[in-house]
Amino acid sequence: MKDQANGKGTDVKPMADALRALAMDAVEAAKSGHPGMPMGMAEIAVALWTRHLKHDPAAPRWADRDRFVLSNGHGSMLQYALLHLAGYELPIEELKRFRQLHSKTPGHPEVGATPGVETTTGPLGQGLANAVGMALAEKLLAARFNRPGHEVVDHRTWVFAGDGCLMEGISHEACSLAGTWGLSKLTVLYDDNGISIDGEVAGWFTDDTPSRFEAYGWHVVRGVDGHDVAAVDRAIGEAVRVTDKPTLICCRTVIGKGSPGKAGSADAHGSALGEKEVAATRAALGWTHPPFEVPREVYAAFDARAKGAAAHRAWSERLSAYRAAHPSLAAEFERRMEGDLPVEWAGAAAAFVAAQAAKGETVATRKASQQAIEAYAKVLPEMVGGSADLTGSVFTNWSGSVPVTREGTGNYVYFGVREFAMTAIGNGLSLHGGFLPYHGTFLTFSDYARNAVRMAALMKARSVMVYTHDSIGLGEDGPTHQAIEHAASLRLIPNLDVWRPCDTVETALAWAAGIERRDGPTALLLSRQNVAYAPKDAGQVAAIRRGGYVLADFGPGAERPTGRPEGAAPGGEARAASSGGTTPRALVIATGSEVPLALAARAALANEGIAVRVVSMPCTQAFDRQDAGYRASVLPPGVARVAIEAGVTDGWRKYVGAADDPRAAVIGVDTFGESAPAGVLFEHFGVTARALADALRRVAARSD
């Protein structure tokens, strides 16, 4: 069949069938995968990728490219086939290695693994939410940097999504916001095939989806034949002409289209078709080519290299003219898109840390965090923050906060009660480039966002997650709001740096570490209650970035912290020293609001001739990355140890020793909390300086 919609008389059937063939061949070779969606969305892909998508296969990270997101990421072979045919650095050998170790074609699309993949998808709905963040990024950047005659930011975000994406609650959270913000350059092509893994969705998904999206404030194109390239092309053209709202294109499709025995059924969804059915499908399609073989004319029809290079070149020329007309703006735009920090950053950060040390304030670390935002956002316009309806409690705003609006201005997002979408949209902002997102809620409500937090770590997305009310210190709101297991569970997520600072200076440096980190997200766990400042010398301040350091050392004068361990060399190698008749007997590892308790216990025990080292460990991940010599200098072998944190205890055993070790103990909370004032709760659960001193006495005595 000849499709005349593009004026070229292109025969689109072989193009769509090539996508089907590559998908079923790769899944068959792997004996694993999802052939149904790629086969069902083939014509939709032809329409978008060959007629509308602005991209350059030779430059997958070009700043003004369109963003394409495969939210229904189980259909990954559709994207891999498209990237291969379009001319990306994804040879046919990689398609043959689908789902194999270290291939560029993993089971679900992964950003960083495959050129042209913008985000990691698979957990349904999150790709769609990421795309909302990307579209928001484009809108905010355009408002900030475009000038009359100089549109250096002008691209679109396209999403493929299925029934599963729209069943997930995150789709409601994110798409509601997209409508509110009027993200007109966001277009979602909905694969309405009525099938999920369990079968026909009519038994559990009967939403009036078009009306739902219209209620969000979206433009909706209903009833498009997803197997008619020209019809999809017209629907996309309609979406492009809409300038005040995002668009949902509802495409009716048949899952596994072309398979005589499995089309339209769940059998085509999540497993290989099988050799016999693949052969039958080839016959039904009239596809006579061997596995993984595509005719040259089909390659030519998909090849986007020349068109992409021309679009990229035209943009580069616009950027050059922009540099000439607006040199400062152009430099700032390029810096931000590269993810570089401004030259004044280091000095500003150091000055702020020094100022916080000089003040020595006793404040809640959530307030210390707000002070850090105030200082750092003034030199980092790329910081875009927000909160899930808790701005007045998590203190994520600052004096320069301007609400993000439908007009595309602002730097502060009122997400409403949408923790999951907030985090996933933040991931999209980060992945798009040009922004350093941060966002906040209570630590216990990180549970609502947990999978997006995990995805941020998996994708190495740069962001700062502000989690306040970090323990039983929350007080009267009770166990529903008191974070007990949350710090420990977040620390278990690979590539997520978790900081629980003890005072203003640790908070300032935790923020700086998160801002400077380029290979993953950072979570800050912050107190509601005031925390006394712990005095530090310059060496201790510098050591905070190591994640754990000696705050107060063995020896006399227990009421005062010392600069370095007694007997330590300038490089930090400690000797267990004695002075004035005291002998090193025990050390305590503390974090966050429990550090003052550790200092108080140390002072009490000094009067009994028991020497105690206090180690502040705001970030276990940063500490674990240090070399063995440094770690041993902070936690010398053979010294009895106690850890204290107002949360579950198991995670600290790696530092102090097993539960049956008489020289080891952990003070914490291994039950859910209670409703009462914070001070009462710390007494009730035994998270006190007195209890800590008792534990230190016990382990010290048993180590003799």
Instruction: Please give the biggest Cα pair distance in the chain.
Output: 95
Q: Identity (one letter) of the amino acid at 50?
A: T
| CB half-sphere exposure, 633, CA atoms < 13 A | 23
In three-state secondary structure terms, 564 is coil
- Residue 138 among the catalytic residues: no
What does each C-alpha distance from 309 to 42, 57, 65, 319 come to in angstroms? 25, 8, 11, 15
What does each C-alpha distance from 37 to 258, 428, 449 come to in angstroms? 12, 24, 27
Extract the runs of DSSP E, i.e. beta strands, from 226-292. Answer: 247-252
In three-state secondary structure terms, 303 is coil
Instruction: Check: CB of residue 534 under 8 Å from CB of residue 509.
Output: no
What does each C-alpha distance from 593 to 237, 469, 691 come to in angstroms? 57, 11, 15
Which residues sit opposite 586 in a β-bridge? 612, 640
From 527, 550, 510, select the one nearest 682 (Cα to Cα).
527
Which residues are CB-neighbours of 145 under 8 A, at least 6 positions away? 152, 153, 329, 332, 333
Which residues are CB-neighbours of 275 under 8 A, at least 6 positions away? 28
Q: Which residues of 333-347 are buried (b: 16+ CB within 10 A; e: fewer)?
A: beebbeeebeeebee
In three-state secondary structure terms, 196 is strand
Q: Where does residue 568 fall: left (phi above 0), alpha (psi -120 to 50 degrees), or beta otherwise?
A: beta
Sign of CA dihedral 456, 458, 461, 466: positive
Sign of CA dihedral 316, 155, 243, 431: negative
Tally Cβ neighbours within 10 Å of residue 505. Answer: 27
| CB half-sphere exposure, 297, CA atoms < 13 A | 7
Beta pairing, strands 610-616 & 549-552: antiparallel
In three-state secondary structure terms, 331 is helix
Q: Rg of the chain's alpha carbons, rounded to an integer?
A: 29
Tally Cβ neighbours within 10 Å of residue 397. Answer: 22
What does each C-alpha distance from 305 to 86, 105, 315, 319, 324 come to in angstroms? 7, 21, 15, 20, 28
Helix pair angle (12-30, 42-51), 10° resolution: 120
Helix pair angle (42-51, 229-241), 10° resolution: 50
Active site residue: 28, 110, 382, 419, which one? 419
What does each C-alpha distance from 11 to 1, 85, 268, 300 come to in angstroms? 6, 16, 26, 12
Helix pair angle (504-516, 345-359), 10° resolution: 170
Q: What is the 3-state secondary structure (H, E, C) of 456-488?
A: HHHHCCCCEEEEECCCHHHCCCCCCCCCCCHHH
Which residues sit opposite 643 in a β-bridge? 589, 666
From 420, 432, 411, select the one nearest 336 (Cα to Cα).
432
Element holding 29 (H helix, E strand): helix 12-30
In three-state secondary structure terms, 6 is coil
The residues assigned a catalytic role are 419
